[in-house]
Chain A
Amino acid sequence: QVQLVQSGAEVKNPGASVKLSCKASGYIFTNHYMHWVRQAPGQGLEWMGVINSGGRGNTAYAQRFQGRFTMTRDMSATTVYMELTSLTSEDTAVYYCTRDSPSGWMAVDYWGQGTLVTVSS
């Protein structure tokens, strides 16, 4: 069965960086794009970026995160990563790793369990 298992909760100081992982299993990793989506407490969903798990690992990011957000993938480990730098309290959120379905174009069929990132001094 398809599983997306994310790394554990993080507490960071303002200005620090955070790197999260998402281990995929139960399907052919390289056949699907992966998105990261976050949700601040009591707020809506926010799309952050997408990576092609196969091929050259092309990425696309939301403009507001350009320059401080990076997605990478390790095909041998079937794992995707996201790194967010220069953290502020506004980055406190649950971060979800998601898998795009074969239909593609943000038709996400599986979500990770979510990782809470808390930014606080």
Chain B
Amino acid sequence: QSALTQPASVSGSPGQSIAISCTGTSSDVGGYNYVSWYQQYPGKAPKLIIFHVNQRPSGVSDRFSGSKSGNTASLTISGLQAGDEAEYYCTSHTGGGAYVFGTGTKVTV
């Protein structure tokens, strides 16, 4: 199972909106509504920000939103803030109880 494809980096100015794509196949992203997104700061454990494609855990800002079209999932960060500067990873179910992470995207504000 190959890693899902994410852009290596995305940048934006404070207040802008950015989108991070996560491209897989019909065997993972396209086949299941089980895409999650994680935010990771350097030296820290990741934090869940989106699950089941577009659900936000309690306590996560509504500036984060998720969607999916075909084999590509997307994370949108609106009202970009300096504190959003981090690495972002998607993950998807691949069938048979297995999962795969994306390659990761560094967000620069």
Contact = CB atoms under 8 A, between A and B. Distances in A.
Interface residues of A, number: 26
Nearest to A63: B1
A44 interface: yes
B103 A44 contact: yes
Contacts of A64: 1
Contact of A106 (B1, B3, B91): B91
A103 B51 contact: yes
Contacts of A46: 101
Contacts of B32: 105
A102 B57 CA distance: 11
Given A44-B3, A44-B103, A60-B98, A107 B89 contact: no
Contact of A61 (B36, B48, B98): B98
Interface residues of B, number: 27
Interface string A88-121: 0000000010000101011111011110000000
Interface in A42-95: 44-47, 50, 58-64
Interface of A: 35, 37, 44-47, 50, 58-64, 96, 101, 103, 105-109, 111-114
Given A44-B89, A103-B55, A111-B46, 13 more contacts: A37-B101, A44-B101, A45-B101, A45-B104, A50-B97, A50-B99, A103-B51, A105-B52, A106-B36, A108-B38, A108-B46, A111-B45, A113-B45
15 contacts: A45-B89, A45-B104, A47-B91, A58-B97, A61-B98, A62-B100, A101-B48, A105-B36, A105-B52, A106-B93, A108-B36, A108-B38, A111-B46, A112-B45, A114-B45
